[in-house]
Amino acid sequence: MLYQKPARSLLAVFGLLFLMASAAQAANVTILATGGTIAGTGATSTTTVGYTAATVGVQRLIEAVPELAKVANVTGEQVFQIASENMTNEHWLTLAKRVNVLLAQSSVDGIVITHGTDTLEETAYFLHLVVKSRKPVVLVGAMRPSTALSADGPLNLYNAVLLAASPEARGKGVLVAMGDQIHTARDVSKVNTSTPDAFRTPELGMLGYFQGSKAFFYRQLVRKHTVETEFDVSALASLPSVEIVYGYANVGPVAVDAYMAAGAKGIIHAGVGDGSLAAKVVPALKAARAKGAIVVRASRVGQGILARNGEANDVELDFVVADTLNAQKARILLMLALTKTTSSKEIQRMFYMY
Ligand code: ASP
């Protein structure tokens, strides 16, 4: 009896020390919330469309998943509260600068960004090119609002925090955690309007899976990103205007001419097939190039390499090809490229590098 009390208190002290040590060891992950369906609410539990995005604050998102505390020391910051169709270049610059400031701090080991799914792949690729750190940055969203039956947000958020806290995710560029899968920002795309498995990296392939509270990697991107890029947003207040025109049967020059009249510095042409140009559009694109705008041929198809000097003579036209980037990602790379150079040759080099 006499020895029991000291033994018990000794155990309690050791227990406390152990808890303090493991809390100190756990990674510090900051969640930057920007809105989207992951923070959305619907009228009933069966409302999976026609709900309101961006209504739940970051603190409530964190509280809804107490399991987060088991994988990281989590703190939250509400950066914006918007549906991602309203994302702008200015939002991207604000977000990127905040990410770079946070990741420069030794007290931050990784970042999770909660985001609407509509433009999630674009924000992810922008950050992939301008974040200046090897620490993990993970974007996550949800296809169902937080109030829906089988809402996908909580598990997606748990996986994202797990990934941002894991040493294996370091140096792999910006990652996307959706539906138990890990994707690279460069290649992932939203490919379904409404189902929970809407994010895919067809052909080039996702990087890994989540299973049993662990991230499993199987491949990694070989294109340059984050600390290896030449882009620096720290002094930028805006980005050059780059617009996308779409290819289809019967298309004419109106969109290209209108964008040029509005002052575009670059045009992404999302052509049919291998980026083919309709004869009626070619004069408008030539005129755009003659005025100094950079013209990038991309494809509306969604897969494959855009052949340089294939469907058009890019050398003669002085056009650039988008490699495997879809039009919305080509737009991002061209905007950043234009902050560095107006040489089409240099810009073509960047499209084969990033
Ligand atoms: N419109 C929503 C958004 O992108 C859709 C979503 O988050 O799934 O913000």
Catalytic positions: 37
Q: Of all protein residues, whose CA lies closest to atom 4 belonging to ligand 1?
A: 116
The fraction of the chain above a pLDDT of 90, given in percent, is 93
Q: Of all protein residues, whose CA lies closest to atom 3 belonging to ligand 1?
A: 116
**Pocket residues for ligand 1 (CB within 6 Å)?**
36-37, 53, 83-85, 116-118, 141, 143
Sign of the dihedral defined by the CA atoms of residues 73, 151, 199, 272, in that order: negative
Residue 351 Cα to ligand 1 middle (Å): 28
Question: What 3-state class would DSSP assign to 124?
Answer: helix
Task: Judge contact between 285 and 256, C-beta under 8 A.
Answer: yes
What digits encode the pLDDT tens for the residues 94-143?
999 999 999 999 999 999 999 999 999 999 999 999 999 999 999 999 99
* Residue 189: both structure tokens together: 């795309």
Instruction: Kindly write down the DSSP assignment for every residue of 276-287, as one continuous string.
Output: B--TTTHHHHHH
Report residue 12's pLDDT band, with 50, 70 and 90 as the boundaries: low
Q: What is the pLDDT of residue 25?
A: 82
pLDDT at 23 over 80: no
Over range 39-45, report the average pLDDT.
Answer: 95
Q: What is the pLDDT of residue 19?
A: 46
CA distance 76 to 57: 9
Give the helix/strand (H/E) hosting 74: strand 73-82
pLDDT at 17 over 70: no
Q: Which atom of ligand 1 is nearest to the CA of 54?
A: 9
Q: What is the pLDDT of residue 1?
A: 41
What digits encode the pLDDT tens for the residues 139-177?
999 999 999 999 999 999 999 999 999 999 999 999 999
Please enumerate, as own/partner, the contacts of 99-103 that have beta carbons within 8 Å and a separation of 24 or more: 99/32, 99/127, 99/131, 99/133, 99/137, 100/130, 100/131, 100/132, 100/133, 100/233, 100/234, 102/30, 102/32, 103/131, 103/132, 103/133, 103/135, 103/137
- Chain-wide mean pLDDT for the chain? 94
Q: What is the pLDDT of residue 18?
A: 47
Residue 164 Cα to ligand 1 middle (Å): 22
Over range 64-71, report the average pLDDT.
Answer: 98
The DSSP output letter for 272 is B
Beta carbons within 10 angstroms of residue 250's beta carbon: 6
Q: Which atom of ligand 1 is nearest to the CA of 143?
A: 8
Please return the burial class of 252, using the count of CB atoms within 10 Å of its CB with bins 0-12, 13-18 and 19+: exposed
